[in-house]
Amino acid sequence: MLDLDMGKYVVYVWGAYGATALGVLGLTVASVAAHRAQKRKLAALQAESRKP
C-alpha cells in the first residue's frame, strides 16, 4: 500500500522529489537532444565530404 499523504511535510518531501525529477529529466532531455543534433551534424558533413 502506497503512502502518498506526506501530512505537514508535504512541501519538503514532494519538493525534494520534484526537484530530483526536474534535475534528472532535464539532464536527460538536454543530453539526448545534444546527441541527436550532433549525430545529424556529423551525418550531413560526412555526406558533404563524399560529394565529388
> Under the rule (CB under 8 A), what is the footprint of other proteins?
1-4, 6-7, 9, 12-13, 15-17, 19-20, 23-24, 26-28, 31-32, 34-35, 38-39, 41-42, 45-46, 48-49
Q: Report in angstroms how near the CB of residue 10 gets to other proteins at its nearest.
A: 8
The C-alpha atoms of residue 17 and residue 11 are separated, in whole angstroms, by 10
Q: Report in angstroms how near the CB of residue 49 gets to other proteins at its nearest.
A: 6
Distances (CA, A) of 51 to 8, 12, 22, 43, 44: 66, 59, 44, 13, 11
